[in-house]
């Protein structure tokens, strides 16, 4: 499956080249494919805030490269560059609050700065760490694709319909995707007749990004309004809802794109299985439950306006962009360390003691 996925790879959204970070501008897809280049930590923080790059692992990877860019400028400026670099760490950490991959990646960069090896400069150490974060995310996705596909195969023999939410593909990660990686692998294995992609209001990650990624690869995909999901679970032969995650807490609760929680409730009601696919960098064992996760609220204009034009009445709009799905609505959490079925605190603790499977 690894070779098949590598051969089918079409989309990349993050590139580290010529000492700069290059990001495919996800605000413009699928209408335009525009790459933007960044040479400062503040620029990368702004790209994350403005959603040029989005998706939990992709945010973490970009922030890691942001630290490299920050360090380069601080070292060139001389003086106490390590103290000055703290400002860059802070700007990057303040860019978005919910996806823990961001803080995980910044912690790894900080730790690596404390472990510069003989014969390497601090800048070389940071660059090597950022590249390693990027590459190991791609590897984790290949492992999870295989594990998730095997889980689907275990429960069904013939091709079925799957439903997904938001965008968890190559655009949201270092490559291949988390939930979308599993869906790709299941399709290549002949297990998927059709994928239903929730449009994912208000930012339309499903309509603009997931539908684009799947259509590019010839995977049969139908776009549906978010509100159609329960109806489709009842009528369209959907066997699994498969989603990603922005933060998973020690008890197995999962924060993901707004609308995920109602999908899990509906899946339970209709006897549809619910799978979460996320690398261990998304697991935050420091938080006991989903109640502790900071939920990002974005500007109400994302709901009030459409294409820059006001469409709603003159009212206040509430725009939480993530929600928390309780662990007891989840059939399986798939990570690169293994699969946890019916997650709870004990199983999550056991998982985190394991090594990566690749």
Task: State the binding site for substrate.
Answer: 54-56, 96, 205, 256-257
Minimum CB separation of residue 86 from ligand MRU in Å reads 25
Minimum CB separation of residue 319 from ligand MRU in Å reads 11
d(C-alpha 178, C-alpha 245), whole Å: 9
How far CA 4 is from CA of 12, 146, 184, 217, in Å, comes to 16, 11, 10, 12
Q: Which stretch binds ligand MRU (CB under 6 A): 27-35, 129-137, 172-180, 335-343?
A: 172-180
325 contacts ligand MRU (rule: CB under 6 A)? no
44 contacts ligand MRU (rule: CB under 6 A)? no
CA count, 13 A, side-chain hemisphere, 122: 18
Active-site residue, from 246, 253, 323, 331? 246
335 contacts ligand MRU (rule: CB under 6 A)? no
**Residue placing its CB nearer to ligand MRU in the complex, 85 or 144:** 144
Output phi, psi for 51, to 5 deg. 70, 30
Query: Which residues ranging from 240 to 259 are in contact with ligand MRU (CB under 6 A)?
Result: 244-246, 256-257
**Residue placing its CB nearer to ligand MRU in the complex, 38 or 322:** 322
For residues 106 to 145, the per-residue mask of contacts with ligand MRU, x marking binding by CB under 6 A and - elsewhere, is ----------------------------------------
User: Integer distance in angstroms from the first to the last C-alpha of the chain?
Assistant: 14
Record the tokens describing residue 73, joined without a space: 């400028």
168 contacts ligand MRU (rule: CB under 6 A)? yes
Q: Which stretches of 121-253 are assigned E, i.e. beta strand?
A: 160-164, 192-198, 221-224, 238-243, 247-249
For residue 238, the tally of other CB atoms under 10 A from its CB is: 21
Minimum CB separation of residue 98 from ligand MRU in Å reads 8
290 contacts ligand MRU (rule: CB under 6 A)? no
Whether 253 is a known active-site residue: answer no
Minimum CB separation of residue 151 from ligand MRU in Å reads 17
Contact 222, 194 (CB under 8 A): yes
Query: Which residues ranging from 202 to 241 are in contact with ligand MRU (CB under 6 A)?
Result: 205
Sequential DSSP letters for 74-92 = HHHH-SSHHHHHHHHHHHH
55 contacts ligand MRU (rule: CB under 6 A)? yes
Q: Which residue is nearest to ligand MRU (CB)?
A: 244
**Residue placing its CB nearer to ligand MRU in the complex, 54 or 112:** 54
Minimum CB separation of residue 55 from ligand MRU in Å reads 4
Contact 295, 320 (CB under 8 A): yes
Rounded to 5°, the CA angle 21-93-36 comes to 25
**Residue placing its CB nearer to ligand MRU in the complex, 61 or 113:** 61
Feature table: binding site:
54-56, 96, 205, 256-257
166 contacts ligand MRU (rule: CB under 6 A)? yes
d(C-alpha 263, C-alpha 224), whole Å: 13
Residue with tokens 């820059």: 308
Minimum CB separation of residue 171 from ligand MRU in Å reads 9
How far CA 25 is from CA of 16, 30, 161, 251, in Å, comes to 15, 10, 30, 35
d(C-alpha 13, C-alpha 24), whole Å: 5
Residues at the site binding ligand MRU, with contacts judged by CB under 6 A: 54-57, 99, 166, 168, 172-173, 178, 205, 244-246, 256-257, 321
Q: Known catalytic residues?
A: 246
């Amino acid at each position: 499956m690894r070779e098949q996925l590598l051969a089918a790879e079409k989309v990349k959204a993050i590139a580290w080249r010529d000492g700069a970070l290059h990001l495919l501008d996800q605000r413009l897809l699928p209408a335009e494919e525009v790459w933007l280049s960044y040479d400062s930590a503040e620029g990368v923080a702004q790209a994350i805030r403005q959603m040029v790059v989005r998706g939990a692992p992709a945010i973490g990877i970009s922030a890691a490269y942001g630290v490299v860019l920050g360090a380069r400028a601080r070292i060139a400026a001389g003086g106490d560059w390590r103290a000055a670099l703290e400002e860059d760490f802070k700007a990057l950490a303040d860019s978005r609050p919910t996806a823990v991959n961001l803080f995980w990646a910044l912690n790894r960069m900080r730790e690596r700065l404390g472990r510069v090896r003989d014969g390497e400069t601090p800048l070389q150490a940071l660059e090597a760490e950022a590249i390693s974060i990027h590459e190991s995310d791609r590897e984790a996705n290949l492992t999870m694709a295989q594990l998730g596909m095997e889980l689907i195969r275990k429960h069904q023999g013939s091709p079925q319909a799957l439903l997904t939410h938001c965008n968890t593909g190559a655009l949201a990660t270092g490559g291949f995707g988390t939930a979308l990686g599993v869906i790709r692998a299941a399709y290549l294995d002949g297990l998927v007749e059709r994928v239903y992609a929730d449009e994912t209001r208000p930012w339309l990650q499903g309509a603009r990004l997931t539908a684009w990624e799947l259509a590019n690869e010839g995977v049969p995909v139908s776009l549906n309004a978010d509100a159609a999901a329960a109806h489709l679970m009842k009528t369209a032969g959907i066997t699994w809802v498969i989603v990603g995650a922005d933060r998973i807490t020690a008890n197995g609760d999962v924060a993901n794109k707004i609308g995920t929680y109602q999908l899990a409730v509906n899946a339970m009601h209709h006897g549809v299985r619910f799978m979460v696919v996320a690398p261990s960098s998304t697991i935050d064992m420091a938080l006991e439950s989903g109640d502790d996760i900071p939920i990002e609220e974005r500007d109400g204009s994302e709901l009030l306006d459409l294409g820059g034009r006001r469409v709603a009445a003159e009212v206040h709009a509430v725009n939480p962009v993530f929600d928390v799905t309780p662990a007891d609505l989840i059939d399986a959490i798939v990570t690169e360390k293994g699969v946890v079925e019916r997650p709870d605190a004990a199983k999550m603790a056991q998982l985190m003691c394991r090594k990566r499977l690749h």
